[in-house]
Amino acid sequence: MTKPKNLTAEALEELKPMKNGELLDTKVTIDTVKYEQPPEKHWILRRLYFLNWLKTYDRETAIADLIAGITLGLTIIPQSIAYAALAGLSSEYGLYSAIIGKVFYALFGTIPQVSIGPTSLMSLMVLQFVGERPMQFVVVLAFLAGLVELLMGVFQLGFVVNFIPTPVTKAFTSATAVIVAAVQFKNLLGLKGKGVPSIGELFKRIHYSDAILGLICLVVLLLLRQLAHINFKKNTPNTRRLKKFLWYVSISRNALVVFICSTITYFWVKNRSLEAIPYTLTAKVTSAQLTFSLPPFAFDYKNTTLVFTDIIHELGAGIAVVPIVAILANVAIAKAFVKDNRLDASQEMLTLGICNIAGSFFNCMPTCGAFTRSAVSQASGVRTPLSGIYTAILVYLALSVLTPYFGYIPRSSIAALLIIAVVFMIDFSPIKELWRTNKKDFFSWVGCFIVCLAAGVEVGLLFGIVLNMIFVLLRLGNPKVEVTLMECENRNYIFVSPTSDVYYSGVEYIRDKINDACLLYRDDFPVVLDCRRFMQFDATFVDVISAVAKELRERDVLLVLFGISEESQQLMHKSENINYCEGDRICSDDLSPKKQ
């Protein structure tokens, strides 16, 4: 299936690889100066990535980023408070983390949509590895996780991203969107109590004021979303201006809806009282000051002073698990949002590391990219990561001068915003398409999707990656082998030729093929093994081939290895029934045992 087998000798000749440059000298007359290796992008531009954005930063980009930044600010503030609470921390730590994450990602990050800050995943990790222990452990964990992430970036481990196949990215994206939508739908309806309600129960548990406000927001957001797509029949300067205005209204829809809801709440409270508000508000922001200090590398805990090594011992596996989970989630989100699949994953790891290390100097919790925020940024027309600076300013203001005003955001308006942002990312179309085109991809998608829903998105992602690795490994265990009876100068030989690359796991399979061939031809002819597709002349290869030679000697069959370099011949055990075909082609001499 993978290659046309009926290549003519002529075609093979045509396709014979020519040495690079050879043709340039003889047949092709090309100005060689013109085709010198172009200079690489300067490393500063690759590392301080914001310099790339700054060069072309104009008014229009700035406005788009500002709108997206403010919208994201309105989302990230209640989110950060909630995630800090989930990790067992007080609200200000979540907001600190949001500010530091946004500022440093703006400097080093490459993908406009990615938003580093508190996430549910990191909160659960903190809960698991720090638990009831004091805040200092969280900060040191952020520092160490950041260090590991930074090192992974420095050692250019970004290629791991290539091991996330497209169906897995798609399934991860859809599953995360489903989970977010489900959770936020609960907030939208203001459901009381825990667990999934039955249909009958549902109506009893709905908080009707929340639900009505949420549904109104939902409808308004959907209508505003369509504004950008209105087309006018005439194309005059006026309609163009109107179209632009409508586009701005459309991408500011999230910020607008939250702002209007909060303003109504504010005046309602002013005229009546806080208790008079019929719907639920998001958690209150407490005023706090962002302060710089060294991470607590030694502190008192349970009447003893813990030094750095003690803290490392206490955090245990968390030091490895937290950065790996953070990087996997971050890279998967980045892959879901990046334009044209082109991702500098090493730079993303580096940036994530910097965000976390920097965060540990400002009392932050471990952070990574959040799927919901990326979806909101995307929906709000973000252009560059510099948009994060505007978000950071807004969060900073919320912590200092604007603190009281951030207490009036209705929870169901945020829920409506998040649902609309993620719901269009749910895409079940791959199920049908992949079933038709590739069963392996189909099972990757379905498996990853189900595991994401059942056991958490990070487990699902890992499952998808490992499943695909196993598919490849299984395939390597069964290399394709062609066994042909060949003739050369009136002498016959059995030519055993793998037609796909052979790694250590496939050598045993080749051995079976050789034995089958000898059995079929009743040990009458010598066996020539084509070694050109063996990728590793390692101990496994040497051992198995030596064993084959021994078996064949017992049956008086000659084994000839073809296409094996002299260097690799040195590795083989000497005393065996192994002959080498020294030339480029097999000739009659090769088919008789050599005198040693």
Please check whether residue 49 is in contact with residue 109, taking contact to mean a CB–CB distance below 8 angstroms: yes
Query: Which of 80, 97, 265, 497 forms a contact with its own copies (CB under 8 A)?
Result: 497
Q: Is 11 in the site for its own copies (CB under 8 A)?
A: yes
The least distance separating its own copies from the CB of residue 128, rounded to whole angstroms, comes to: 18
* Stretch touching its own copies by CB under 8 A, among 55-63, 376-384, 417-425, 494-502: 494-502
**Per-position x/- string for 169-208, each x denoting binding to its own copies as judged by CB under 8 A, each - no binding:** -x--------------------------------------
Query: Which of 56, 159, 291, 489 forms a contact with its own copies (CB under 8 A)?
Result: 159
Query: Which of 223, 242, 455, 519 forms a contact with its own copies (CB under 8 A)?
Result: 519
Please check whether residue 258 is in contact with residue 412, taking contact to mean a CB–CB distance below 8 angstroms: no
Rounded distance between C-alpha atoms, residue 149 and residue 126, angstroms: 17
Please check whether residue 201 is in contact with residue 506, taking contact to mean a CB–CB distance below 8 angstroms: no
The least distance separating its own copies from the CB of residue 532, rounded to whole angstroms, comes to: 4
Task: Report helix, strand or coil for 498.
Answer: strand
Query: Which of 501, 523, 553, 577 forms a contact with its own copies (CB under 8 A)?
Result: 501
Q: Is 438 in the site for its own copies (CB under 8 A)?
A: yes
- How far separated are the first and last CA of the chain, in Å rounded? 44
Please check whether residue 137 is in contact with residue 130, taking contact to mean a CB–CB distance below 8 angstroms: yes
* Stretch touching its own copies by CB under 8 A, among 246-254, 376-384, 385-393, 542-550: 542-550
Q: Is 294 in the site for its own copies (CB under 8 A)?
A: no
Extract the tokens encoding 451.
């595991």
Cβ-proximal residues to 534 (8 Å cutoff; 6+ apart), any chain: 498, 502, 507, 541, 564
The least distance separating its own copies from the CB of residue 57, rounded to whole angstroms, comes to: 22
Nearer to its own copies, 11 or 202 (CB): 11
Query: Which of 128, 286, 293, 437 forms a contact with its own copies (CB under 8 A)?
Result: 437
Q: Is 4 in the site for its own copies (CB under 8 A)?
A: yes
Burial class (CB in 10 A: 0-12, 13-18, 19+), 371: buried
The least distance separating its own copies from the CB of residue 158, rounded to whole angstroms, comes to: 10
Site for its own copies in 546-575 (CB under 8 A): 547, 550-551, 563, 565, 567-568, 571
Extract the tokens encoding 318.
């968390």
Extract the tokens encoding 463.
């499952």
- Give the helix/strand (H/E) hosting 321: helix 318-337
CA nearest to 113, candidates 405, 454, 329, 369 = 369
Query: Which of 54, 473, 575, 594 forms a contact with its own copies (CB under 8 A)?
Result: 473
Residue 393 CB coordination number (10 Å):
16
Site for its own copies in 313-342 (CB under 8 A): 340-342
Nearer to its own copies, 14 or 275 (CB): 14
Q: What is the largest CA-CA distance in the chain?
A: 108
Write the secondary structure of 127-155 as one string of H (helix), E (strand) and C (coil): HHHCCCCCHHHHHHHHHHHHHHHHHHHHC
Nearer to its own copies, 239 or 577 (CB): 577
The least distance separating its own copies from the CB of residue 43, rounded to whole angstroms, comes to: 17
The least distance separating its own copies from the CB of residue 291, rounded to whole angstroms, comes to: 43
Residue 417 CB coordination number (10 Å):
30
Nearer to its own copies, 239 or 546 (CB): 546
Nearer to its own copies, 12 or 196 (CB): 12
